[in-house]
Amino acid sequence: MAPPDDERPTVNRSGSWVAFTVLFVLGVGGLFLGLAMQGQDKKTTGSRSYDLTPEQYEENTRWARKRAAEQPAPSRQPPSSQKIDNCLKANKCTVQLRGEATANPVMSFIVAEEIWAAFDEKDKSDMRTLLKEKIEQAKAQPGTYTGIPASAPFYSKALNNIRNTRSYSVILSKGQRASGALSVDEEILIDF
């Protein structure tokens, strides 16, 4: 018969367990340190950039600088279309983010029907590029593309929706409202 719990001898094994764990960790750490130190005395292999000799490094640097000088500077100039510029100035077209309260907001180019009819393929291509740039601007500064007040409970969700904008569209307007805003009559181009 076993003695009651309060009469059993106790064995403290926690000390030996701790010692074993410490020795194991030190052993594994030493193994990794040994592997890391292996090969430190080698001069160079030429296979990695940090193993280059100073002469090889200088040669690579000269080559990279020469190549960089040969490359034209990137141009971030927005597309210029006289028709689009005139249209925007005359309030015959506008760029507007629509649907920021939805999961798929759309950057829309709202344009008077007669102006759209005068656009050639280059103007339409410039308009697409303009919309894509406006989408990127909206993603970077979503607060400037919403009419939702910052105090509204849905405001942060609307900003997240704007940051996820991918689509653009063209909407034809057949006239203007009394306020001067273009009417929204027919969506003719949608790019999702």
Calpha distance 10→164 (Å, rounded): 64
The answer to whether residues 133 and 95 touch, using CB atoms and an 8 Å cutoff, is no
Instruction: Flag whether 73 is in a domain.
Output: no
> Would you give the DSSP letter of residue 150?
T
What is the domain count for the chain?
Answer: 1
Structure confidence at residue 75 (pLDDT):
42
Structure confidence at residue 170 (pLDDT):
93
Structure confidence at residue 52 (pLDDT):
64
Q: State residue 166 phi and psi, 5-degree precision.
A: -130, -15
Rg (CA), the chain: 34
Let me know if 13 is exposed, middle or buried by CB neighbors in 10 A (0-12, 13-18, 19+): exposed
pLDDT in tens, the chain (192 residues): 555 555 655 555 555 555 556 555 556 555 555 555 555 544 444 444 456 677 876 776 776 666 666 655 444 444 457 889 998 998 899 999 999 889 999 999 999 999 999 999 999 999 999 999 999 999 999 999 888 888 989 899 999 999 999 999 999 999 888 888 888 888 887 776
Phi-psi group of 69: left, alpha or beta (phi > 0 → left; psi -120 to 50 → alpha; rest → beta): alpha
Instruction: Flag whether 135 is in a domain.
Output: yes
Structure confidence at residue 192 (pLDDT):
60
In this structure, what is the dihedral angle of CA atoms 109, 100, 165, 113, given to the nearest 10 degrees? -10
Calpha distance 84→13 (Å, rounded): 83
The pTM of this model reads 0.56
Helix (H, G, I), strand (E, B) or coil at 109: strand
Structure confidence at residue 80 (pLDDT):
56
Structure confidence at residue 4 (pLDDT):
58
- Transcribe 111-139 into DSSP letters: EEHHHHHH--HHHHHHHHHHHHHHHHHHH
Neighbours of 144 (CB within 10 A): 10
Structure confidence at residue 175 (pLDDT):
86
Instruction: Flag whether 160 is in a domain.
Output: yes
Structure confidence at residue 5 (pLDDT):
56
The count of C-alpha atoms lying within 13 angstroms of the C-alpha of 171, restricted to the half-sphere facing its C-beta, is 18
Instruction: Flag whether 169 is in a domain.
Output: yes
Instruction: Flag whether 7 is in a domain.
Output: no
Instruction: Flag whether 126 is in a domain.
Output: yes
**Sequence-distant (≥ 6) Cβ neighbours of residue 183 within 8 angstroms:** 173, 174, 175, 176, 177
Structure confidence at residue 77 (pLDDT):
45
Instruction: Flag whether 99 is in a domain.
Output: yes
Instruction: Flag whether 61 is in a domain.
Output: no
Structure confidence at residue 18 (pLDDT):
59
Cα dist from 185 to 50, 57, 94, 177, whole Å: 63, 64, 14, 12
Range(s) of the domain holding residue 165: 82-191
